[in-house]
Amino acid sequence: MKDKIALAAELGSGEELKRCIEILRDLGMSRFETFTPYEVEGLQELLGVPRSRLSWIVLAAALVGGGGAYFLEWWINVVSYPLDIGSRPLHSAPAFLPIMFEMAVLFGSIAALISALVLGGLPTLWHPMFEVEGFRSVTDDGFWLAVHAGDTALDRASATAALEAAGARRVVWLGAP
Amino acid sequence: MLDAPAHPRTMGALFPPWTNTAFRIALIGVALAATGVIVAPMVYARSPFATGAQQPLLQPIAFDHRHHVKDDGIDCLYCHENAQRGPYAGLPDTARCMGCHAQIWNDSVTIAPLRKSYESGAPIRWQRVHSLPDFVYFDHSIHVTRGIGCVTCHGKVDDMAAVYQVKPLSMQWCVDCHRDPAPHLRPLDQITSTTWQPTPEEMTRLAATFEPRSLTRCSTCHR
Amino acid sequence: MTKPIGLDALSRRQFFKLAGIGAAAAGIAGCSSRPARDILPYAERPPELTPGVATYYATSLVQDGHATGVIVETHEGRPTKIEGNPDHPASLGATRAIEQAAVLSLYDPQRTRAITDRGVPTSWASIERVLAEARADRGRGTQVLLEPTSSLLAGELLARIRATLPAARVTFWAPFAARASLAGHRSVFGRPLERRLALHDADVIVALDADLVGDHPFALAHARHFADRRRVVDGDSRMNRLYAIETSYSPTGILADHRFRVRPSEIGLVARELLAELAAAGKVAPELAAPRATGPRARWIAAIARDLVAAGGRSAIIAGERQPAAVHALVAGLNAALASTCVTYAPSALIEAGEASHDLGPLATALAHGEVTTLIIVGGNPSYTAPADQGLAIDRAERSLYLGAYANETAAACHYVVPGLHDLELWDVVRAADGTISPQQPMIEPLFDGHSTCELLATWLGDKPVAARERVEAAWPRLVPGTSFHQALARGAVASSATPAVPVEVAWSAVATHAATPSTAAYELELRAHPYLYDGRHANNPWLLELPDPITKLTWDNAAQVSPRTAARLGIKTGDIVALAVAGRSLEVPAIVVPGQADATFTLYCGFGRTGAEGVARGVGVSAFRLWTTALGFAAPVEVAVTDRQRTLAITQGHWELEDRDQLPSATLAELGHDPRVRSELARQRGPQPTLLGKFSQTGAQWAMSIDLTTCSGCSACVMACAAENNTPVVGREQVLNSREMHWLRLDRYVTGPDEDAPIAVEPMACQHCENAPCEYVCPVEATSHSDDGLNEMTYNRCVGTRFCSNNCPYKVRRFNWFDFKQHSGLQVLARNPDVTVRDRGVMEKCTYCVQRIRRAEIDAREAGRPFQGHDVRTACQQVCPTQAITFGSLNDATTAVTEHRTRPHDYAVLHDQGTVPRTHYLARIRNRNPELG
Amino acid sequence: MTTAAHDDVLLGRPSDHAINEQLLSTTWRPMTRGWKILFAICSAFTVLLFALITLTFMRGIGMWGNNIPNAWGFAIINFVWWIGIGHAGTFISAIMLVLEQNWRTSINRFTEGMTLFAVMQAGLFPLLHLGRPWFAYWLFPYPSVMGTWPQVRSALPWDAAAVSTYFLVSLMFWYLGMVPDLAGLRDRAPTRRRRIIYGICALGWRGSTQQWRHHKVAYMLLAGIATPLVVSVHSIVSLDFSITALPGYHSTIFPPFFVAGAIFSGFALVLTLIIPARRWFKLENVITLRHFELMAKMCMVMSWIAIYSYVVEIFLAWYSGDKFEIYQQIMYRPFGFYAWTFWTMIACNCLVPQLFWSRRMRRNLKVLWIASLLINLGMWLERFEIVVVSLSRDFLPSSWHTYMPTWVDLGILAGTFGFFGLLFLLFLRFVPFVPVAEIKQMRGELEREKVAA
């Protein structure tokens, strides 16, 4: 169940963003979301996001691709239609390796792309944040901080004040707190 | 600095919320279409549209095999005698037809083209039902004389009003039998039978008689 | 597949309407996967015919009156392939390239198609009127020009013509008809006799400008008899010895153990000097002991003479037919001096018609003086082939009539043209060069409104028309009494009907009349019949035009052959155009540099430069006949002028040298016997090699080939047979220039020694059917794979055309269809073999060891319940080979020749060290050198 | 090697917004006259390319100069050359990312584009050079009604797998890296229509924590995968030759030799393209002389690998004692019919890069540009040496024959330049060819390093 976003604030830099998170966290809030034009160093550690498990997906896909390719090569040469090709053995292992490798790479890469997008919640052409006035700066020089509506510690007055004090360019409240 | 236009300040999101669903459906559609483009020809190639199976052809004479084979008891090889002598089973010449039809049904309207051919000497232009590509060298006689019956490839022609192709005649279909011909063998006196059923002992005996070989080398058919 | 239409049951016109369907139905339409939907049964099937099964008939092909017996393969009444007739003494089962290509000439689109009067179609009745007029006044003013003929029917008719139309004049003429030997022998023996050779008895043979295995009418028998004495099993095998003394290289020169280059005018001198040596050795009267050879020639002439004397009666000296009568007289004397049992004499098989002359001169004169009312030309092409000093002014005749199968120059010059018949369309009884009676029977109804020579002569005589077969059948008991017509037809020859040899007495005074001084001209020109086009009669046959010359490997052109030294002196190289002038007549022709050509000589082939209506022949090469005069003969002093122009020649093999590689080892018989270095070098090129690869099961027949290079003359009959059997397309000059010729079999020709006489050896090179085939593992689609009987299979319809296989083929024997080379329509598609797929564009192809024949034999054996061992399988190249140099069979059968060849000390595999394990092996070229000559 | 603290890879330290405006504006600023002229020229050559492809399809491969023995010619040379060009792109964007060479940031998108378009040109040729291109799908395994399969001992199915994988992986890598910038265009492009198109391409990217988190891992993984991939692709291409037995093909050093050659020619083509692009788009602050210096050095290193390979090839031919190899490598290539191609190749690949020992030359863009053209020519001739010169003189002298390209061969080669140029011009026109987000991030890193220093 996706939480609604209640508060969005635009900051001028990654450092400010990180500072604001610490400030709000001091106010007891914990359910943050950030939107940045590029990856801000240290942000993920600050938010305590665990390491992406995408690598495992890619490994699995690569194994399926490579293993499947080798199996197919073996099957068509040894089982499906065995033929004497220049006296080479039916199971010519070294010759089967290049395709196996390429298919491992291909499957792994496709898995990497798709998982990166899907795990990142894409494709979503519409997102509540896009309704926020000025959010378009998120790809320019705006570093956005959002707090989920479900955060019990979220308090409109104190949060607004704290963010404005920290130099937020814009503080926007979405719907009722 | 660059003289870029002023930051447009329209309100709201670029895409409305329904686009999320629409976009995902579109993605799935594209994926399905791509799969379809690959799979559809494979399905088509196996369908009667491509193999030509199951389609009776309009022949110049409405020749009925049911009548000639079942009712009259004429053996396949009476008319298609070259099946045991050469690569082509072929069709009987007009003279062979007239051997009977000079006496029987000799004034029938149905066989008017036959009479015309007999008088003029011009061949009857039949439509070919079973055709293989020119690069395939199929030899009837080696099959017929080594225990492969008519029905194996041509189906129960004695049940057909107009002959149609039953098997796909694809290479895969040929090769399936060529890998292991033994289950398709029959005694030479049952070659033209459409009803013969083997017993397991008989199959063993047949395999010993004909010693069928697995012939999957390319030049068996392609030369 | 469809049952094709029975030709016998149809009229000619119906045949043409339906021919297209028949062609498609017979499986010759190629790689398309959509076959014709129609299926046409016979209205009435001929009883002897099973659709899809070839039928074979014996008949004879004729050149300049001499028959060669052949077996013709027909499919549903359509001749597709010609084989030699083993029962015929002039064939012994082999043919030359020319006979192989004859089947395409049958379907030549430029055949004469209708009777015409000055180009306007007319009827046979008008021809009858012309002939009736020619009958008037006992034939006065009528001249008939025939090709030399041995037809017994024509002989009868001509005898009647002599009796009833004595005022008419008959001439037999062909440019290369061998008349000089008859004249020479007449001077020595008093009778015009022909020479007969028994080469299987000869230990030492001297060929004086004689291509005894090439252009002689009995060449196929000579080649076989000669080769049978050269089957080297080991170093102690007995072998005959051949000395070839010639100006330009011939297949005989390739076969020779010693070859010497002399100028054309020196040939007679050599014969005379040999006679002098024999005289010195006491074999003939001492007054003939001059002039003795001097200079460098002295050494080898003396050595040859000693060899001849040692061989005694088991020797043969042979003069070429181009040599003048005096040389033939000399050579007859030489053979008599040696008491040779290998050379005998017998009357010619050709018809002589009383006053009939074999000289074109009187006819040319009569024409020029306007003395000819009716000129009847039967066959041949005298408008093109006549010598420059005997040109026929056909237009000076009041009426002229040409009977011929092709719309050539002569047809264009005559008023009336009557379509003639191809040898495969006619009934006749002819004789081989040894006199053997050989029936001719048609394989097919005449394709066009054709008439035979006999029909024309009979009509001239005013006979009632009679069917061709009846004419022969009725005459048979009279012509060949005591024999069965049907047996003769089945066999293709009447057994033991050769003319017996006659005893001869030499008039020694007539022997040495040849002038003892050679020409002093700076350069000499030698004119020769082309090995394939002959006198130009086959010039419209694209198969022959594209067949590389045995020596020069030139296609689609003729060129003046010149030795490297002379070329260097003149500053010319291959392709430079030179102007050759003989007696004021000049001809511009490209030069081609040929090792082994005599210095200061040029050799030019006749048969090119055609100007008739034949589409393919036009514009190909230049006509050497324009330099030919009866006064000077085939060898003449020539003036040479070098031009600054060039013509790129379509040569299929530009390199002569072995380039220090060992693909064609050769040795002398003595070395093979005693030289351990030679033996170990040969042994290095065969036998097992270390490999990581395992073997697939090799049970059953395991096909292999062995080619004996000692008996390969490079005659190229195998190349033509391969093309005819396997439907290989013709690509044309432009494509040959870019090395895109499609022959599956090529004859690699290398100079194997350093000396200037340039010993040449030939190595037939087709797919080697390697066990570890490098082509197979690089094909991405399994289009080339290995069969369980050891064939390297090429599945055309699977090929996508990456050409990777060709790159990895060390022998470069694969051929690619760069364009859609196959013919789609036209008459000539009827010559195709329906048992072989016609390849589409973009597809690789190559030698299959004639897999269609193997599979046919396999099916036949299994249907008959016989175990299949493949003793009866012969490849097309093997079957045609005049010297039986090619052996084919199963390696798993210890009784086959091919297995036995593997054990010989000179067995080797080309590029053995590449580890490809080829199934085609070779027997190295062995020369039986005269120890005296090193 | 750790991150080199070279600060001269981004001049002037522009702000995030300034970077955004400068680098995105290439997509909406009106194109210059030069661009339009080039576009017209490239379009014309593209038309020529497809006309000649049609001609080849209609008439057959015989329209080319190939023959037997030279069954391969221009098509394969062009294939190898173009695919080699692509390698530098992957090398810069993937291998140097893994090696943390931050200077690659400024040029990686550019070189990835080059890779893609070069591989597209390369991919044309294996298809075109088939005798029956309509059956090209037989190289892929699918359940056929013939019951037949590809023959995977051949290097060609490897090629098909490698090249298609390479193209797809390059495309995915390029796209994944570009998603944030496409989002940037969605938010910044001047018209609504453009914003919608870019917006669809950006898939709704909003730079959220989760998105950056997975993006970073996936990008690094793709780079990591692409590293062995790029090595494998040209190794496999080299196996097209070295699995055969042909003298001149049959060489075990081919895989590394080919990979190095590929990167060599690729860097040269990057230089060829980026020097004019940088000037036209006024990117002197983003693509600096330091970039050129480094690329020139790379060229020189690769040149030495090429020199080494040439020497080893000739040495091994001699050392093997194999008469066919000796003839091919020592007699025929340097002194035979095609000797001029050999010596031109040596001049271009071995001598020209030695200019870059001089710092002045490395920083002289005119010299660099001309040198890059010569290297491209040299590398093309290197493939000519391998493909044609080997084939024209193999084992049996009887089958020797030379090869001459026809006008169709030359036209197709010229056409691929046009098609490549056309795609590249469109790329420059419609997507940010310097990665915006990455440059902003690099600026931040550079500043932090400065502070730390």
Asked if residue B201 has pLDDT above 60, the reply is yes
**Contact status, residue A124 vs residue D171, Cβ threshold 8 Å:** no
CB contact under 8 A, B88 and C28: no
Distance (Å) from the alpha carbon of B2 to chain C's nearest alpha carbon: 53
Closest among C333, C339, C287, C340 to C316, alpha carbons compared? C340
- The model's pTM is 0.92
Chain C nearest-CA residue for D154? C778
pLDDT of residue C355: 64
Residue C703 tokens, joined: 């096909």
Alpha carbon separation from C828 to C55, C78, C97, C721 (Å, rounded) = 20, 11, 18, 16
Q: Is B31 left (phi over 0), alpha (psi -120 to 50) or beta?
A: alpha
Question: Which of B7, B14, B175 lies at the smallest CB-CB distance from A130?
Answer: B14
Angle at C495 (CA atoms; ends C492, C499), nearest 5 degrees: 110
Tokens 């990979």 sit on residue? D259
Is the complex ipTM higher than 0.90?
A: yes
Express each pLDDT in C451-465 by its tens digit: 999 999 999 999 999
pLDDT of residue C398: 92
Distance (Å) from the alpha carbon of D400 to chain B's nearest alpha carbon: 29
Q: What is the average pLDDT value for chain D, to the nearest integer?
A: 89
Asked if residue C34 has pLDDT above 80, the reply is no
* Cα torsion D331, D332, D333, D337: sign: positive
**Contact status, residue A6 vs residue A128, Cβ threshold 8 Å:** no
CB contact under 8 A, B220 and C859: no
**Contact status, residue A34 vs residue D208, Cβ threshold 8 Å:** yes
DSSP C342: S
Average pLDDT (C749-771) is: 89
pLDDT of residue C20: 35
Question: Which of D129, D132, D243 lies at the smallest CB-CB distance from C843?
Answer: D132
CB contact under 8 A, D21 and B4: yes
Q: What is the average pLDDT value for chain A, to the nearest integer?
A: 87
Average pLDDT (C379-397) is: 91
Residue C136 tokens, joined: 């008037």
Distance (Å) from the alpha carbon of A65 to chain C's nearest alpha carbon: 21
pLDDT of residue C199: 93
3-state secondary structure of C120: strand
Chain A residues whose beta carbon lies within 8 Å of the beta carbon of residue D188: 136, 139-140
Q: Is C419 left (phi over 0), alpha (psi -120 to 50) or beta?
A: beta
Residue D207 tokens, joined: 């730079």
Residue C731 tokens, joined: 């690509």
Chain B residues whose beta carbon lies within 8 Å of the beta carbon of residue D199: 14-15
Closest among C804, C473, D229 to A112, alpha carbons compared? D229
Chain D nearest-CA residue for B19? D200
Kindly state whether B11 is in contact with chain D, defined as any CB-CB distance less than 8 angstroms.
Answer: no
Q: Which chains pack against C, by 3+ Cβ pairs within 8 A?
A: A, B, D
Distance (Å) from the alpha carbon of D210 to chain A's nearest alpha carbon: 5
Distance CA A3, CA A7 (A): 12
Q: What is the average pLDDT value for chain B, to the nearest integer?
A: 87
Distance CA D120, CA A41 (A): 37
Question: Which of D65, D71, D156 lies at the smallest CB-CB distance from C816?
Answer: D71
Amino acid at D349: N
What are the backbone angles phi and psi of residue A148, rounded to the nearest 5°? -70, 150
3-state secondary structure of D144: coil
Kindly state whether C843 is in contact with chain D, defined as any CB-CB distance less than 8 angstroms.
Answer: yes
Q: What is the dihedral of CA C105, C108, C114, C116, to 10 degrees?
A: -90
Best of D250, D398, D407 to mutate (most C CBs within 10 Å, chain C)? D398
* Contacts (Cβ under 8 Å, ≥6 apart) of A113: D172, D175, D176, D218, D222
Burial level of D323, CB count in 10 A (0-12/13-18/19+)?
Answer: middle
pLDDT of residue C16: 36
CB contact under 8 A, B15 and A81: no
In C569-682, the DSSP E strands lie at: 576-582, 585-593, 601-605, 635-637, 639-646, 650-651, 666-668
Q: Is C291 left (phi over 0), alpha (psi -120 to 50) or beta?
A: beta
Asked if residue D287 has pLDDT above 90, the reply is no
Express each pLDDT in D32-69 by its tens digit: 888 899 999 999 999 999 999 999 999 999 999 999 99
Chain B: residues touching A (Cβ < 8 Å): 7, 11-20, 23-24, 27, 175, 216-217
Interface of C with D in 416-435 (CB under 8 A): none
Express each pLDDT in C469-520 by its tens digit: 999 999 999 999 999 999 999 999 999 899 999 999 999 888 877 777 778 8
Chain A residues whose beta carbon lies within 8 Å of the beta carbon of residue C772: 86-87
Chain D residues whose beta carbon lies within 8 Å of the beta carbon of residue B168: 145
> How long is chain A?
177
Query: In whole angstroms, what separates CA A7 from the centre of its chain?
Result: 22
Distance CA D25, CA D28 (A): 5
Chain B residues whose beta carbon lies within 8 Å of the beta carbon of residue C36: 128, 131
pLDDT of residue A3: 59
Asked if residue C94 has pLDDT above 90, the reply is yes
DSSP C253: H
* Cα torsion D72, D78, D80, D83: sign: negative
Chain B residues whose beta carbon lies within 8 Å of the beta carbon of residue C50: 82, 85-86
Interface of C with B in 758-817 (CB under 8 A): 782, 785-789, 791, 793, 795-798
Distance (Å) from the alpha carbon of A65 to chain D's nearest alpha carbon: 12
Would you place residue D453 in the very low, low, confident or very high pLDDT band (cuts 50, 70, 90)? low
CB contact under 8 A, A126 and B16: yes
**What does C638-658 look like in DSSP terms, one character per residue?**
-EEEEEEEE---EES----S-
Asked if residue A6 has pLDDT above 90, the reply is no
Q: How many CB atoms lie within 10 A of CB D99?
A: 12
Average pLDDT (B188-215) is: 88
Q: Which chains pack against A, by 3+ Cβ pairs within 8 A?
A: B, C, D
Distance CA C741, CA C760 (A): 23
Instruction: Give a three-class secondary structure readout of C538-574.
Output: CCCCHHHHCCCCCCCCEECCCCEEECHHHHHHHCCCC
Kindly state whether B5 is in contact with chain D, defined as any CB-CB distance less than 8 angstroms.
Answer: yes
Average pLDDT (B65-74) is: 89
Distance CA D353, CA D368 (A): 9
Distance CA A95, CA D153 (A): 5
pLDDT of residue D9: 66
Best of B116, B219, B220, B221 to mutate (most C CBs within 10 Å, chain C)? B219
Average pLDDT (A15-38) is: 86
Report whether the peptide linkage leading into residue D69 is cis, meaning its omega lies within 30 degrees of zero: yes
pLDDT of residue C356: 65
Chain B residues whose beta carbon lies within 8 Å of the beta carbon of residue A127: 13
* Contacts (Cβ under 8 Å, ≥6 apart) of D429: D26, D27, D31, D35
3-state secondary structure of D348: helix
pLDDT of residue D312: 92
Average pLDDT (A6-31) is: 85
Distance CA C638, CA C263 (A): 12
Express each pLDDT in A94-112 by its tens digit: 999 999 999 999 999 999 9
**What does D68-88 look like in DSSP terms, one character per residue?**
SS--S-HHHHHHHHHHHHHHH
Give the H or E element holding residue C57.
strand C55-63
Helices (H) and strands (E) in chain C, counts: 27, 40
* Cα torsion C450, C453, C459, C465: sign: negative
Kindly state whether B1 is in contact with chain D, defined as any CB-CB distance less than 8 angstroms.
Answer: yes
Instruction: Give a three-class secondary structure readout of chain A.
Output: CCCCEEEEEEECCHHHHHHHHHHHHHCCCCCEEEECCCCCCCHHHHHCCCCCCHHHHHHHHHHHHHHHHHHHHHHHHHHHCCCEECCECCCCHHHHHHHHHHHHHHHHHHHHHHHHHHHCCCCCCCCHHHHCCCHHHHHCCCEEEEEECCCCCCCHHHHHHHHHHCCCCEEEECCCC
Residue D25 tokens, joined: 């504006």
Q: What is the average pLDDT value for chain C, to the nearest integer?
A: 89
Q: How many CB atoms lie within 10 A of CB D193?
A: 9
Chain B residues whose beta carbon lies within 8 Å of the beta carbon of residue A133: 11
CB contact under 8 A, B88 and C37: no
Would you place residue C296 in the very low, low, confident or very high pLDDT band (cuts 50, 70, 90)? confident
What are the backbone angles phi and psi of residue C53, rounded to the nearest 5°? -110, 125
pLDDT of residue A145: 87
Question: Which of A36, A113, A129 lies at the smallest CB-CB distance from D176?
Answer: A113
Burial level of D314, CB count in 10 A (0-12/13-18/19+)?
Answer: middle
Burial level of C296, CB count in 10 A (0-12/13-18/19+)?
Answer: exposed
Average pLDDT (C696-713) is: 92
Terminal C-alpha separation, chain B: 74
